[in-house]
Amino acid sequence: MRTFFVLIFCIIEQFLIIQSAPAQSTDSAQSHVKTAAAETSEPTTKAAELSWLTLGFQQTFVSQGHGTLNVPYSGERSLKSSSELAMTLSATLFASARLWKGGEIVIHPEIAGGAGISGAVGLAGFSNGEAVRAGNPSPTLYFARYYLKQSFDLSSFPDGKDVSKLSVLAGKFSVGDFFDANAYSHDPRGQFLNWSLMSNGAWDMPADVRGYTLGSVVEYSNATWAARLLGAMVPVEANGAELDTRLQNAHGLAFELEYHYALGGRSGAVRALAYRNTGRMGRHNELLAAMSQVTPTDDDIIHRYGAVKYGFGLNIEQQINENVGVFMRAGWNDGATESWMFTQIDQTLSAGVLVNGALWNRRGDNAGLGFAANGISQVHRDFLANGGTGFIVGDGKLTYGAEIVLEAFYKVRIAEWFSLTADYQFVINPAYNQDRGTVGIAALRGHIEL
């Protein structure tokens, strides 16, 4: 841990040195509309920016815990019944270089460590968006992102009235960098922490255990609408670290349409998503049948190439006034095959509100209140009820009920570069199990951004 903090302070020191260079904006977009790709290519606050280079830094810790749970039984993937406290910590260096017209090279080395409560299992809508679902709890250095992006200006008029652009990128990234964006709920480092509020829980988005993948995104955008297409690798096993190189048999595809509008003079956006994954996912009916056999079925028979998981999503954001915005997401997938990468949710509906502290003369503060209802298909329920487990839920038994999540937070800006957030979540039927009652989860989040 000491080595980790030494490295972080060294990075900050280098940024302070670089910060003596004059900062200047290099955004070519003239429109007030920002697509998801534009929003996530670099940090919100730039530590240093030259004519061709942008550097930034973030560090986030989340300390989260719950009290003792009075439950009749627990399974392999249950929340611990005893009280617990867990902490996650991440630090990222953002580097983006523009070396030729329209070209951009992005590299984000990252350190992450710690663990979510109960090892990040026991909740389908897990409570900490910063939690690594498995792996080494000790701080580990890796490259979160490295990709090449090329943008082509298709604008019809030089005055910027028609901002039209085609972008193509390839490399390593998080799918959430470019898809399922929402101004009021998409960032666990500054907004809602719960997985089913920060993202569409029913989208089994391509990712390794840390939430990143290798792939390509093609996007067309203008001032009013955007369309983007994803092709990405999926892991060899559920929630695995190794990505499957048999691309013809294992991959994830997604298509999203985005439309920006004004309602009563207030900006809004709607995004429609469709996705299809294929790989070695098991089929729930076959997994269920294998559990009843005396002789165990060979895993290669159950987990074989050819399984398909598909689904759809809807994402809406709407500004109410200068300081208040609301959001809604809905998602559905077929539920016939195992969840392989994100979490075990087959149907989801979420909504919430984000309020800026300018209403009470604290413009740097934000308060949020959100709700999510998550469900699973009948065959998925039968699988869990008969003792089956996925990579994130499985109590050994199941008295089914929709998992309901309520989350409230207040973020205080302590300084231009530092904020603290108090967060509370109340979950009904954790992991879809009425037998496990309810759980309250409290968290403190600290975030540095330079």
Residue 427 in any domain: the answer is: yes
Average pLDDT for 303-314: 95
Q: Provide the domain count of the chain.
A: 1
For 377, residues 6+ apart whose C-beta sits below 8 A from its C-beta are 284, 334, 335, 336, 346, 347
Q: Which of 425, 354, 352 is nearest to 123 (CA)?
A: 425
Instruction: Say what the pLDDT of residue 42 is.
Output: 44
Q: For the segment 20-47, what is each residue's pLDDT rounded down to a tens digit?
A: 333 333 333 223 333 333 334 444 445 5
In degrees to the nearest 10, what's the CA dihedral of 58, 59, 63, 64? 30
**Summary mean pLDDT of the chain:** 88
Residue 195 in any domain: the answer is: yes
Average pLDDT for 433-450: 97
Q: Which domain holds residue 230?
A: 96-105+141-439
For the record, the structure tokens of 332 come out as: 């559905």
Quote the pTM value. 0.87
For 350, residues 6+ apart whose C-beta sits below 8 A from its C-beta are 185, 196, 197, 201, 327, 328, 329, 330, 370, 371, 372, 373, 405
Ordered alpha helix ranges (H), 363-415: 378-385
Which of 41-50, 53-62, 257-266 has the lowest average pLDDT? 41-50
User: Which carries the bigger pLDDT value, residue 13 or residue 273?
Assistant: 273
Residue 203 in any domain: the answer is: yes
Residue 117 in any domain: the answer is: no
For 161, residues 6+ apart whose C-beta sits below 8 A from its C-beta are 30
User: CA-to-CA distance for 362 and 15, rounded, in angstroms?
Assistant: 28
3-state class (DSSP) for residue 445: strand
Residue 129 in any domain: the answer is: no
Residue 164 in any domain: the answer is: yes
User: CA-to-CA distance for 251 and 235, rounded, in angstroms?
Assistant: 9
Residue 30 in any domain: the answer is: no
Instruction: Say what the pLDDT of residue 404 is.
Output: 98
For the record, the structure tokens of 183 come out as: 């101004």
Angle between the N-to-C axes of helices 284-291 and 378-385, in degrees from 0 to 180, rounded to the nearest 10 = 20
User: For residue 155, what pLDDT band results from cuts at 50, 70 and 90?
Assistant: confident
User: CA-to-CA distance for 131 and 143, rounded, in angstroms?
Assistant: 17
Residue 270 in any domain: the answer is: yes
For 47, residues 6+ apart whose C-beta sits below 8 A from its C-beta are 15, 18, 19, 55, 56, 57, 450
User: CA-to-CA distance for 18 and 16, rounded, in angstroms?
Assistant: 5
Displacement of CA 437 from its chain's centroid (Å): 27
For residue 314, what are the β-bridge partners? 272, 330
Query: CA angle at residue 427 from 348 to 277, to 5 degrees?
Result: 30
User: Which carries the bigger pLDDT value, residue 358 or residue 133?
Assistant: 358
